[in-house]
Amino acid sequence: MLYPLKFRPRLKPRIWGGSTLIAQKGKGLRIDRSRQYGESWDLSGIRGDLSVVTNGMLKGNNIEELIEVYMGDLVGEKIFERFGVVFPLLFKTLDAQDTLSIQVHPDDELAAERHNSYGKSEMWYITNCSEGAELYIGFKRPVSREEFIDAVVTNRLPELLNRYEVKRGDVYFIPSGTIHTIGKGIELIEIQQASDITYRVYDWDRVDSEGRPRELHTALAIDAIDFESEDEYVLTKAPEVNSSVELIKRDHFNTNLIAIDGEYVRDLAKFDSFAVYIAAEGDFTISTDGGSEKINAGELVLIPAELNEVTITGKGRILEVFLE
């Protein structure tokens, strides 16, 4: 029988990152601790960055190797039929000590055509932030391509975007095609499709470590951007204690938020899917017929599809992610 799986994080240097991820996730990793790290890839099926198991008899195997062997027992029969050995989601932790570039991600159709990749829709859960920290997501109103290009050239693009002042526990959904960025002073959990395709369109006149402006991808972005951009981006909800609330239900992933004080039992038998539990706030023990694992705030565990029930003990908030 399979069991709850934990994975080694992969820290990514970023010009806008800081030192928080080194303290949170860097123990035992061979990294340059003098660098700024902006992303931790906590569970990835992307080639070149495959996550490796750190616990139990499968320790040392990567996620693709596990899917090759255990197939539907690990990810779910329908998911295996749909994605094969590719794990369909990417889970990250971000530490933005400076503002990211304003950017957009292509949808599935455009990403497949250009990059032989999936598109990227994503959601964010704010775990920590400075007072007054902001996100930019989507246009305030529909704009034309010509107006967008003029705003980029004249450094007015931020003026066209919605601004959201954030607080801990806020949740946002960013569909593919939505222009966006994360402001400085924000730490968050990111749940997304398994894609690393990003088109930067505005970078605040920033230069890299060698004094050069970073590459922009405005021409590529034009065909990817939703210029209407009128979706509802804010998903923040507050569940009752020892209950679950649905944050989002999409083809790409479903996410629930569970508030726990004591013990919470979850029946997974009706889902033909793996489940990932992320400790958003607090520490937890995740128990199944296949074994138990502890996760601290910011850590995650993958529950294989063949396990039909999970018992979660602890106090705080935990994110539950699966596919249908």
The values of phi and psi at residue 126, to 5°, are -80, 120
Reply yes or no on whether the pLDDT at 231 is more than 80: no
**Tens digits of residue pLDDT in 168-207:** 999 999 999 999 999 999 999 999 999 999 999 999 988 8
Reply yes or no on whether the pLDDT at 212 is more than 90: no
Per the annotation, the verdict on 10 as an active-site residue is no
Q: Which of 10, 14, 200, 266 is catalytic?
A: 200
Reply yes or no on whether the pLDDT at 252 is more than 80: yes
User: Average of pLDDT values for 103-129?
Assistant: 97
Domain boundaries, the chain: 10-222, 243-322
- List the structure tokens of 254: 């479903």
How high is the pLDDT of residue 210? 81
Whether the domain at 10-222 and the domain at 243-322 fall into the same CATH topology: yes
- List the structure tokens of 210: 């060698």
How high is the pLDDT of residue 224? 98
Closest CA to 17 of 5, 33, 28, 6: 33
At the fourth CATH level, the homologous superfamily of domain 243-322 is Jelly Rolls (2.60.120.10)
What is the Cα–Cα distance from 115 to 166, expressed in whole angstroms? Answer: 33
What is the Cα–Cα distance from 268 to 303, expressed in whole angstroms? Answer: 10
How high is the pLDDT of residue 205? 87
The answer regarding whether domain 10-222 maps to CATH 3.30.530.20 reads no
Report the mean per-residue pLDDT for the chain: 96
Reported as half-sphere exposure (CB side, CA atoms, 13 A), residue 322 has a value of 22
The values of phi and psi at residue 115, to 5°, are -130, 0
What is the Cα–Cα distance from 124 to 321, expressed in whole angstroms? Answer: 13
Reported as half-sphere exposure (CB side, CA atoms, 13 A), residue 288 has a value of 26
How high is the pLDDT of residue 79? 97
pLDDT bracket for residue 129 (50, 70, 90): very high
